[in-house]
């Protein structure tokens, strides 16, 4: 049976994730209601604008469902804005939603607001070749707690990490033909 992966469909790069997941043979669906989550093996929180996605999560009353999904041990992948939402807010207390799924502090727009986007080949622990990584007004991870494994770094800045069932990347793996990071996530799911 193909794995069923939901992509949180409130704002951001939803369609590209669904297309890429389908190419990998997954059953990929856009989700935005609490009961859409019930039969998922994994969930992607996409890139976009973390403030907007967080506000919409609250408006759609999805915060508790997301936290329960995490508690159930289901696989979660936060990309870019999704990474910010999965962080804790220790160094930048904010009213914006932070789910705290990964014990890490994040710098939003960490490569500078003016540096709109760039692409790099980066090593990724557990993948046997450098991975094409697309950064768009990306955050980076400033520090991680002891339970977090660092998977990729760019010039000393952490750009991919995981803790238990949660994976995050500062970049957009759905925007290249290199599917290996999404495949890595699929292996964590289900
Ligand atoms: N800069 C955005 C934010 O802070 C993230 C950008 C992205 O997801 N591509 O939420």
Tens digits of pLDDT across the chain (190 residues) = 899 999 999 999 999 999 999 999 999 999 999 999 999 999 999 999 999 999 999 999 999 999 999 999 999 999 999 999 999 986 778 899 999 999 999 999 999 876 679 999 999 999 999 999 999 999 999 999 999 999 999 999 999 999 999 999 999 999 999 999 999 999 999 8
Report how far apart, in Å, the C-alpha atoms of 164 and of each of 12, 149, 185 are.
25, 9, 12
Catalytic residue among 16, 80, 86, 162: 80
Ligand 1 centroid to residue 1 C-alpha, Å? 34
Q: What is the DSSP string of 121-177?
A: EEEETTEEEEEEEEEES--EEEEE-TTPEEEEEETTEEEEEEETTEEEESS-GGGSS
pLDDT at 85: 97
Return the structure tokens found at 134: 């697309």
Residue ranges lining ligand 1, Cβ < 6 Å: 47-50, 80-81, 84, 108-109, 136-137
Count the domains in the chain.
1
Secondary structure (H, E, C), 161-182: EEECCEEEECCCHHHCCCCHHH
CATH number at residue 144: 3.40.50.880
Active site residue 172: yes
Closest-lying ligand 1 atom to the alpha carbon of residue 53: 10
Active site residue 153: no
Q: What is the dihedral of CA 73, 75, 81, 87, to 10 degrees?
A: 30
Protein residue closest via CA to atom 2 of ligand 1: 49
Protein residue closest via CA to atom 5 of ligand 1: 81
Ligand 1 centroid to residue 12 C-alpha, Å? 9
pLDDT at 47: 97
Range of the domain at 182: 4-188
User: Exposure pattern of 51-63 as b/e (b: 16+ CB <10 Å)?
Assistant: bebbbbbeeeebe
Ligand 1 centroid to residue 129 C-alpha, Å? 26
pTM: 0.96
């Amino acid at each position: 049976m193909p794995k069923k992966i939901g992509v949180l469909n409130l704002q951001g790069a939803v369609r590209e994730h669904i297309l890429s997941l389908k190419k990998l043979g997954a059953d990929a669906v856009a989700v935005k209601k609490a009961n859409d989550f019930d039969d998922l093996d994994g969930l992607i929180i996409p890139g976009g604008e973390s403030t907007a996605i967080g506000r919409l999560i609250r408006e759609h009353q999805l915060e508790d469902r997301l936290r329960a999904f995490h508690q159930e041990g289901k696989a979660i992948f936060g990309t870019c804005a999704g990474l910010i939402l999965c962080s804790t807010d220790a160094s930048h207390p904010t009213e914006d939603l932070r789910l705290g799924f990964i014990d890490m502090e994040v710098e939003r727009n960490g490569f500078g607001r003016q540096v709109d986007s760039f692409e790099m080949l980066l090593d990724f622990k557990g993948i046997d070749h450098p991975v094409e990584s697309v950064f768009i007004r990306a955050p980076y991870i400033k520090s991680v707690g002891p339970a977090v494994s660092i998977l990729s770094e760019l010039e000393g800045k952490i750009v991919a990490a995981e803790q238990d069932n949660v994976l995050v990347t500062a970049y957009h793996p759905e925007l290249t033909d290199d599917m290996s990071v999404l495949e890595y996530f699929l292996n964590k799911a289900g």
